[in-house]
Homo-oligomer: A and B are copies of this chain.
Amino acid sequence: MAKGSDSKGKTLAAAATLFRQQGYHGSALHDVLAASGSPRGSLYFHFPAGKEQIGAAALALSAEAVREGIAQAAEASENAEIFLVRIVRAMAADLERSGFKEGCPIATTALETSAQSEALGTAARNAFQKWELEIKRGLFRFGLSAGDADIVATMALSQIEGALLLARTHRSLTPIHRAEQALKCLLRALHDKH
Protein backbone atom coordinates (compact mmCIF):
# COMPACT_ATOMS: atom_id res chain seq x y z
CA MET A 1 0.00 0.00 0.00
CA ALA A 2 1.57 3.26 -1.13
CA LYS A 3 1.28 5.84 1.60
CA GLY A 4 3.75 8.38 0.23
CA SER A 5 2.90 11.97 -0.50
CA ASP A 6 3.39 11.15 -4.19
CA SER A 7 0.35 8.87 -4.09
CA LYS A 8 -1.66 11.55 -2.28
CA GLY A 9 -0.58 14.19 -4.79
CA LYS A 10 -1.43 11.95 -7.76
CA THR A 11 -4.87 11.24 -6.35
CA LEU A 12 -5.58 14.95 -5.84
CA ALA A 13 -4.29 15.93 -9.28
CA ALA A 14 -6.42 13.24 -10.93
CA ALA A 15 -9.48 14.26 -8.91
CA ALA A 16 -8.99 17.96 -9.72
CA THR A 17 -8.81 17.21 -13.47
CA LEU A 18 -11.86 14.94 -13.44
CA PHE A 19 -13.99 17.35 -11.39
CA ARG A 20 -12.93 20.14 -13.76
CA GLN A 21 -13.86 18.19 -16.89
CA GLN A 22 -17.06 16.44 -15.84
CA GLY A 23 -18.03 17.71 -12.41
CA TYR A 24 -18.04 16.25 -8.93
CA HIS A 25 -21.06 13.97 -9.14
CA GLY A 26 -20.07 12.78 -12.61
CA SER A 27 -16.71 11.52 -11.34
CA ALA A 28 -16.85 8.35 -9.26
CA LEU A 29 -14.10 7.41 -6.81
CA HIS A 30 -13.10 4.48 -9.04
CA ASP A 31 -12.57 6.98 -11.91
CA VAL A 32 -10.25 8.97 -9.65
CA LEU A 33 -8.39 5.80 -8.68
CA ALA A 34 -8.07 4.67 -12.30
CA ALA A 35 -6.84 8.10 -13.45
CA SER A 36 -4.34 8.45 -10.60
CA GLY A 37 -2.93 4.92 -10.86
CA SER A 38 -2.85 4.80 -7.06
CA PRO A 39 -3.93 1.73 -5.10
CA ARG A 40 -7.37 1.82 -3.44
CA GLY A 41 -5.80 1.48 0.02
CA SER A 42 -3.82 4.66 -0.39
CA LEU A 43 -7.01 6.56 -1.12
CA TYR A 44 -8.64 5.44 2.12
CA PHE A 45 -5.40 6.06 4.01
CA HIS A 46 -5.02 9.67 2.84
CA PHE A 47 -8.72 10.53 2.69
CA PRO A 48 -10.50 8.55 5.41
CA ALA A 49 -13.59 10.79 5.15
CA GLY A 50 -14.04 9.78 1.51
CA LYS A 51 -15.04 11.62 -1.64
CA GLU A 52 -16.09 14.89 0.02
CA GLN A 53 -12.66 15.18 1.63
CA ILE A 54 -10.95 14.50 -1.72
CA GLY A 55 -13.24 17.07 -3.37
CA ALA A 56 -12.44 19.82 -0.87
CA ALA A 57 -8.68 19.11 -1.09
CA ALA A 58 -8.80 19.00 -4.91
CA LEU A 59 -10.60 22.36 -5.02
CA ALA A 60 -7.98 23.83 -2.66
CA LEU A 61 -5.18 22.50 -4.89
CA SER A 62 -6.73 23.97 -8.06
CA ALA A 63 -7.53 27.24 -6.30
CA GLU A 64 -3.95 27.72 -5.20
CA ALA A 65 -2.60 27.05 -8.71
CA VAL A 66 -4.87 29.71 -10.20
CA ARG A 67 -4.05 32.15 -7.36
CA GLU A 68 -0.34 31.72 -8.09
CA GLY A 69 -1.04 32.35 -11.78
CA ILE A 70 -2.83 35.60 -10.93
CA ALA A 71 0.04 36.72 -8.69
CA GLN A 72 2.54 35.92 -11.48
CA ALA A 73 0.40 37.80 -13.99
CA ALA A 74 0.60 40.87 -11.75
CA GLU A 75 4.40 40.53 -11.54
CA ALA A 76 4.69 40.28 -15.33
CA SER A 77 2.37 43.18 -16.19
CA GLU A 78 2.94 46.90 -16.60
CA ASN A 79 -0.58 48.11 -15.92
CA ALA A 80 -4.06 47.00 -14.85
CA GLU A 81 -5.28 46.37 -18.40
CA ILE A 82 -2.40 44.07 -19.31
CA PHE A 83 -2.82 42.34 -15.93
CA LEU A 84 -6.52 41.50 -16.45
CA VAL A 85 -6.01 40.46 -20.08
CA ARG A 86 -3.18 38.14 -18.97
CA ILE A 87 -5.48 36.41 -16.45
CA VAL A 88 -8.20 35.91 -19.09
CA ARG A 89 -5.69 34.54 -21.61
CA ALA A 90 -4.14 32.11 -19.14
CA MET A 91 -7.54 30.58 -18.36
CA ALA A 92 -8.53 30.58 -22.04
CA ALA A 93 -5.26 28.83 -22.92
CA ASP A 94 -6.19 25.93 -20.59
CA LEU A 95 -9.61 25.75 -22.24
CA GLU A 96 -8.23 25.72 -25.77
CA ARG A 97 -5.38 23.30 -25.01
CA SER A 98 -7.85 20.79 -23.54
CA GLY A 99 -10.22 20.90 -26.54
CA PHE A 100 -12.73 22.98 -24.52
CA LYS A 101 -12.88 20.38 -21.73
CA GLU A 102 -11.10 22.33 -18.99
CA GLY A 103 -12.64 25.63 -18.01
CA CYS A 104 -12.72 26.96 -14.47
CA PRO A 105 -11.54 24.23 -12.06
CA ILE A 106 -13.95 25.39 -9.35
CA ALA A 107 -17.19 26.49 -11.09
CA THR A 108 -18.70 23.08 -11.91
CA THR A 109 -18.26 21.60 -8.43
CA ALA A 110 -19.33 24.91 -6.84
CA LEU A 111 -22.62 24.94 -8.75
CA GLU A 112 -23.31 21.25 -8.12
CA THR A 113 -22.56 21.16 -4.43
CA SER A 114 -22.62 24.58 -2.79
CA ALA A 115 -26.21 24.11 -1.63
CA GLN A 116 -25.55 20.56 -0.41
CA SER A 117 -22.12 20.18 1.14
CA GLU A 118 -20.67 22.49 3.76
CA ALA A 119 -17.11 21.24 3.10
CA LEU A 120 -17.28 21.68 -0.68
CA GLY A 121 -19.19 24.96 -0.45
CA THR A 122 -16.51 26.34 1.88
CA ALA A 123 -13.71 25.15 -0.42
CA ALA A 124 -15.37 26.83 -3.43
CA ARG A 125 -15.98 30.06 -1.48
CA ASN A 126 -12.34 30.11 -0.32
CA ALA A 127 -11.17 29.61 -3.91
CA PHE A 128 -13.15 32.53 -5.34
CA GLN A 129 -12.27 34.73 -2.35
CA LYS A 130 -8.55 34.03 -2.84
CA TRP A 131 -8.76 34.93 -6.52
CA GLU A 132 -10.76 38.10 -5.91
CA LEU A 133 -8.24 39.16 -3.28
CA GLU A 134 -5.27 38.46 -5.57
CA ILE A 135 -6.92 40.42 -8.43
CA LYS A 136 -7.70 43.26 -6.00
CA ARG A 137 -4.07 43.30 -4.84
CA GLY A 138 -2.86 43.51 -8.43
CA LEU A 139 -5.27 46.31 -9.32
CA PHE A 140 -4.31 48.26 -6.18
CA ARG A 141 -0.65 47.87 -7.15
CA PHE A 142 -1.46 49.37 -10.57
CA GLY A 143 -2.94 52.48 -9.01
CA LEU A 144 -6.62 51.76 -8.40
CA SER A 145 -7.99 52.89 -5.04
CA ALA A 146 -8.70 50.07 -2.57
CA GLY A 147 -12.45 50.62 -3.04
CA ASP A 148 -12.30 50.57 -6.86
CA ALA A 149 -9.92 47.59 -6.83
CA ASP A 150 -12.37 45.64 -4.67
CA ILE A 151 -15.33 46.35 -6.95
CA VAL A 152 -13.44 45.80 -10.21
CA ALA A 153 -11.99 42.52 -8.92
CA THR A 154 -15.50 41.11 -8.47
CA MET A 155 -16.66 42.48 -11.85
CA ALA A 156 -13.58 41.03 -13.57
CA LEU A 157 -13.91 37.61 -11.97
CA SER A 158 -17.62 37.48 -12.90
CA GLN A 159 -16.81 38.47 -16.48
CA ILE A 160 -14.07 35.84 -16.74
CA GLU A 161 -16.15 33.06 -15.15
CA GLY A 162 -19.14 33.79 -17.38
CA ALA A 163 -16.96 33.94 -20.49
CA LEU A 164 -15.33 30.61 -19.62
CA LEU A 165 -18.79 29.04 -19.25
CA LEU A 166 -20.02 30.40 -22.60
CA ALA A 167 -16.75 29.61 -24.39
CA ARG A 168 -16.78 26.06 -23.09
CA THR A 169 -20.42 25.50 -24.02
CA HIS A 170 -20.09 27.09 -27.49
CA ARG A 171 -16.61 25.59 -28.06
CA SER A 172 -15.54 29.01 -29.24
CA LEU A 173 -13.09 31.66 -28.04
CA THR A 174 -15.39 34.54 -29.04
CA PRO A 175 -16.80 35.01 -25.49
CA ILE A 176 -13.19 35.17 -24.22
CA HIS A 177 -12.21 37.86 -26.73
CA ARG A 178 -15.31 39.86 -25.82
CA ALA A 179 -14.52 39.49 -22.10
CA GLU A 180 -11.10 41.04 -22.77
CA GLN A 181 -12.81 43.98 -24.51
CA ALA A 182 -15.29 44.33 -21.63
CA LEU A 183 -12.52 44.43 -19.03
CA LYS A 184 -10.55 47.06 -20.97
CA CYS A 185 -13.73 49.08 -21.30
CA LEU A 186 -14.41 48.89 -17.54
CA LEU A 187 -10.91 50.03 -16.64
CA ARG A 188 -11.04 52.93 -19.10
CA ALA A 189 -14.44 54.04 -17.83
CA LEU A 190 -13.00 54.01 -14.31
CA HIS A 191 -9.97 55.96 -15.45
CA ASP A 192 -12.13 58.58 -17.18
CA LYS A 193 -14.27 58.91 -14.05
CA HIS A 194 -11.33 60.31 -12.07
Contacts and interface: CB of A to CB of B under 8 A. Distances in A.
Interface residues of A, number: 52
Contact of A108 (B111, B125, B162, B188): B111
A178 interface: yes
A163 interface: yes
A157 B161 contact: no
Contact of A182 (B100, B158, B170): B158
Contacts of A124: 169
A181 B115 contact: no
Chain A contact residues, majority secondary structure: helix
B21 A115 contact: yes
A145 to B, nearest CB: 15
A85 interface: no
Interface stretch (A22-30, A37-45, A47-55): A22-30
Given A26-B25, A155-B178, A112 B108 contact: yes
Contact of A158 (B103, B129, B159): B159
A154 B175 contact: yes
Interface string A111-130: 11111100001001100110
A185 interface: yes
A165 to B, nearest CB: 5
A111 B107 contact: yes
A29 B128 CA distance: 32
23 contacts: A22-B113, A22-B116, A23-B25, A25-B25, A26-B116, A107-B111, A111-B165, A121-B169, A125-B170, A128-B169, A151-B178, A155-B179, A155-B182, A157-B166, A158-B175, A158-B178, A159-B162, A161-B165, A162-B163, A182-B186, A185-B186, A185-B189, A192-B192
